[in-house]
Structure 1
Amino acid sequence: MRHLLALLLSCCLPLAHAGERPPAEVAVLATLHKLHAEVPAYDDAALKRSIERLAPDVLCIEVSPARYASRGPEANKVEYPAVVYPLIDARGYRVYPMEPAPPRDAGILQPYLAANRAFAEQQPAASKAFQAQTGALYDTLRLYWTSPARVNDAVTDAQMQAKHALQAALVGEGERTGWEAWNGEFLATVARAARENPGKRIVVLVGAEHGYWLRAALAKTPGVRLLDTAALLAADGS
């Protein structure tokens, strides 16, 4: 009887595995917004090559649904009209805008911005020092960023994580809560894209400061197999 039961189980288990949905492959690709023009190794052409190198089926993009629908000029995220939207048209990627729509966006941003205004007004010396430190960090990173792979590597992520840890400690709970909530909106969208596209390749386009947060969260997200973006780009010489 024990042998018969073992045989039955061995026959059933492959069927159970066959019915499981394969995880989506997810690569987080950091972008630099206006700084693409100041980092020669990661200009618009290099960003386009990086997206194509990662071979997405799906793109998760750092704009709201309304801004994606209008595809108008971007004050800061200039890579969208310059690179991302033309690639979407050319390649036919399935697209998921990640920024929240109203009124959810204001519910997150208004307390966050208020906390930062209060910090600048109430602690001007600390605010000025933090701005100087952030400027020095970016001055250094612009020299470090000699390839798209470096923009997406563990060194850059560690610097951004440290920057935001200090920012939250200085500004306080409003900064911490807003940062977590805004990134959480991105994470929820990527998780939905993964559920709706099992086995597909998803590339998440997000500003470089968000990369460390999303990579850490996606590594623990069911239905996601997080890819090493820096390694994939480096393998291509990027």
Structure 2
Amino acid sequence: MPELPEVETTRRGIAPELTGLVATGAVIRNGRLRHPVPADLAELLTGQPLVAVERRAKYLLLRFSTGSLVVHLGMSGSLRIVPTDLPPEKHDHLDIVFGPRALRLRDPRRFGLVLWQPGEAPHPLLASLGIEPLDDAFDGPWLHKASRGRRTPVKLFIMDGSVVVGIGNIYASESLFRAGIDPTTPVGELGPKRCARLVACIRETLADALAAGGSTLRDFVGSNGAPGYFQQQYFVYGRDGEACRHCATPIRKRIMGQRATFYCPRCQR
């Protein structure tokens, strides 16, 4: 699933290319995504300038003059800028047209969504989201305060979108390894120093992933069609049984919250 770095990579690719352009239409080839694509999308968008391309958690917000298009890439979706006359492939379900170019949604599994939110009010899907991990407000004291009295394992806590948004399974595992924290540790047991270290490692991991263009899982690509390469830097994710890059202890795998968790039993305490 595209996580925060992949979505932010996509946003950074789209924004400078399309911001300020006027939408000239929309082509819906298959509107049966996780939620149906609005059938009147072309009417809603035609003639409107794209004011901004923003991100909230793993959602992209294409802001137009009368509302916002809320886009989630689901399990395998991607957005690419292509010539309008480029023939669509099997899983190219939607084009947002800007004259000679189009923003094309490809989604083989059709778990993504494209919804219209009129006006400036946030969509209900965004109403209960937590803090952004790249915001300055996300720091050690914030995490320490938010976690007091909580017995939730730290990995599940930082993946809870009502607490912190966008830290998916990959980046949670990698951040906890960098911080030297066992993923099963109750988050309420982390002191101020360990909270500060974990926040720093989360931000560092996400920054490194952004610099690498994200991770390529399944068929994720950025807006220019290029894959991400952060998977080549993984310390633990997907490396169960392989030697830890720091201490040579075999990486272990366990299931937490129905998700695979990877960690080094020696480096993470």
Rg larger for:
1
What TM-score, normalized to structure 1? 0.22
More helix by proportion, 1 or 2? 1
Greater RCO (CA < 8 Å, at least 6 residues apart): 1
More strand by proportion, 1 or 2? 2
What TM-score, normalized to structure 2? 0.20
